[in-house]
């Protein structure tokens, strides 16, 4: 009798343990998103629009992958495995846009859409991360894109979206040309990889304060965590380096306005100055357009 009771108790215990494990299992998935080209691409960046599905949307954000269309076709029209890049697909990149990020939320509601810019400006986007954050796209080229929705505590990640092809704007033809902040960051006083130092000057003035080339590089390496002053400084440094490098100066009014706004503030991490992102947004856009070739002489090939 005692043995029968013990066996019954063990069965009850096992059943009790099994119930919550089964209850926590994910049984549904995030709706498959769609991706499309958006207006506003430059010679160094492309805008794409990601749209959530009708039931779940993209509550935890999404990830986007991209690569040169020519390399995609050379790879048999097949995407590389997420974590694998070989010499045949050297342009393969990916970026994550968090739906739970501090300072910016990339969650998309059901049937909602969000447009993001892909290129080295990812570096200045709160909630976005990428191993290609300082890699501008090549001018006058077609790229392919796809996206998926992130998993949540109750939903599995979505399937991949459609693959779409978008193009960067044409390369510069005359009047000098410009490079992005990503180029100058990786071709500075401490070059990355096989790059060399291409900076035409060893100091620049931002506002009323003069910085050495190493201080400027430290500013480039500081993401700013939402500080509009840092984001403005990134584009201002790039614009001044472009002008010093011989690019036609069509951004003089924006450069002067940025210097006036910065004034005596000392840019982190050299100092502790700060400006709201809203107050610097228009100037950041104007200088970014110049550096990326949307305005002015155009982006270097």
Look up the domain containing 220 and give its range.
181-292
- Statement: residue 2 has pLDDT above 80: no
- Statement: residue 22 has pLDDT above 50: no
- What does 201-244 look like in DSSP terms, one character per residue? -SEEEETTEEEEHHHHHHHHT---TT-HHHHHHHHHHHHHHHHH
Same domain? 251 vs 139: no
Among residues 232, 240, 285, which one has the least CA distance to residue 45?
Answer: 285
Whole-number pLDDT of residue 254: 95
Q: Is residue 261 part of a domain?
A: yes
Instruction: List, in sequence order, every beta strand (DSSP E) within 150-197.
Output: 155-156, 164-167
Provide the 10 A C-beta neighbour count for residue 286.
20
Which region holds residue 28: left if phi is over 0, alpha if psi is between -120 and 50, else beta? beta
- Statement: residue 16 has pLDDT above 90: no
Same domain? 208 vs 143: no
In sign, the C-alpha dihedral spanning 277, 64, 26, 110 is: positive
Structure tokens at 189: 């006083």
Same domain? 202 vs 161: no
If DSSP codes are grouped into helix, strand and coil, which group holds residue 89?
Answer: helix
Please name the residues in contact with 6: beta carbons below 8 A apart, sequence gap of 6 or more.
none
Same domain? 69 vs 130: yes
Same domain? 41 vs 146: yes
Q: Give mean pLDDT, residues 240-248.
A: 92
Within the chain, how many helices (H) and strands (E) appear? 7, 12
Compute the distance between CA of residue 239 and CA of residue 292 in angstroms, rounded to an integer.
10
Q: Is residue 6 part of a domain?
A: no
Asked if the peptide bond before residue 203 counts as cis, ω within 30 degrees of 0, the response is no
Q: Is residue 162 part of a domain?
A: yes
Whole-number pLDDT of residue 128: 84
User: For all residues of the chain together, what is the average pLDDT?
Assistant: 86
Of 141, 167, 193, which residue sits at a domain end?
A: 167
Whole-number pLDDT of residue 209: 98
Whole-number pLDDT of residue 18: 41
CB-based burial, 240-277: b 16+ in 10 Å, e otherwise: bbbbebebbbebeebbebbbebbeebbbbebeebebeb
pTM: 0.72
- Statement: residue 244 has pLDDT above 50: yes
Report the residue count for the chain: 301
Same domain? 99 vs 194: no
Q: Is residue 284 part of a domain?
A: yes
Q: Give mean pLDDT, residues 18-33.
A: 68
Same domain? 192 vs 160: no
Q: Which of 117-131, 171-185, 281-295 has the lowest mean pLDDT?
A: 117-131
Whole-number pLDDT of residue 103: 59
Please name the residues in contact with 281: beta carbons below 8 A apart, sequence gap of 6 or more.
228
Same domain? 67 vs 197: no
CATH of the domain at 106: 2.60.40.10
Q: Give mean pLDDT, residues 19-41.
A: 78
Asked if 31 and 56 count as a contact pair (C-beta separation under 8 A), the reply is: yes
- Considering only CA atoms, give the Rg of the chain: 24
Same domain? 264 vs 185: yes
Quote the crossing angle between the two packed helices 277-292 and 252-262, to the nearest 10°: 150
Structural domains counted in the chain: 2
Same domain? 185 vs 118: no
Same domain? 158 vs 287: no
Of 167, 193, 211, which residue sits at a domain end?
A: 167
Whole-number pLDDT of residue 8: 41
Burial of 297 (0-12, 13-18, 19+ CB in 10 A): buried
- Statement: residue 9 has pLDDT above 60: no
Structure tokens at 259: 């210097």
The per-residue pLDDT for range 59-114, each reduced to its tens digit, is: 999 999 999 999 999 989 999 886 555 555 678 899 999 987 665 689 999 999 99
Structure tokens at 231: 């984001």
Same domain? 215 vs 152: no
């Amino acid at each position: 009798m005692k043995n029968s009771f013990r066996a019954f108790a063990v069965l009850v215990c096992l059943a009790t343990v099994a119930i919550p494990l089964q209850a926590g299992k994910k049984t549904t998935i995030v709706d498959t998103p769609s991706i499309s080209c958006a207006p506003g691409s430059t010679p160094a960046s492309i805008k794409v629009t990601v749209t959530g599905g009708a039931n779940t949307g993209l509550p935890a954000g999404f990830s986007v992958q991209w690569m040169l269309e020519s390399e995609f076709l050379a790879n048999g029209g097949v995407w590389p495995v997420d974590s694998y890049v070989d010499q045949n697909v050297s342009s393969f990149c990916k970026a994550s846009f968090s739906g739970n990020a501090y300072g910016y939320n990339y969650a998309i509601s059901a049937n909602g859409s969000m447009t993001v810019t892909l290129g080295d400006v990812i570096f200045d986007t709160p909630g976005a991360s990428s191993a290609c954050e300082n890699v501008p796209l090549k001018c006058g080229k077609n790229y392919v894109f796809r996206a998926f929705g992130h998993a949540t505590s109750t939903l599995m990640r979505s399937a991949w979206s459609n693959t779409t092809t978008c193009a960067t704007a044409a390369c510069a033809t005359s009047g000098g040309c410009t490079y992005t902040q990503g180029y100058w960051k990786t071709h500075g006083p401490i070059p990355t990889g096989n790059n060399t130092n291409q900076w035409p000057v060893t100091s620049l003035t931002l506002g009323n304060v003069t910085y050495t080339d190493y201080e400027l590089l430290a500013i480039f390496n500081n993401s700013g965590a939402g500080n509009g002053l840092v984001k403005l400084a990134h584009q201002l440094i790039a614009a001044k380096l472009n002008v010093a490098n011989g690019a036609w100066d069509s951004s003089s009014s924006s450069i002067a306005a940025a210097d006036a706004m910065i004034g005596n503030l000392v840019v982190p991490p050299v100092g502790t100055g700060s400006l709201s992102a809203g107050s610097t947004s228009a100037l950041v856009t104007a200088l970014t357009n110049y550096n990326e070739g949307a305005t002015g002489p155009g982006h270097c090939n």
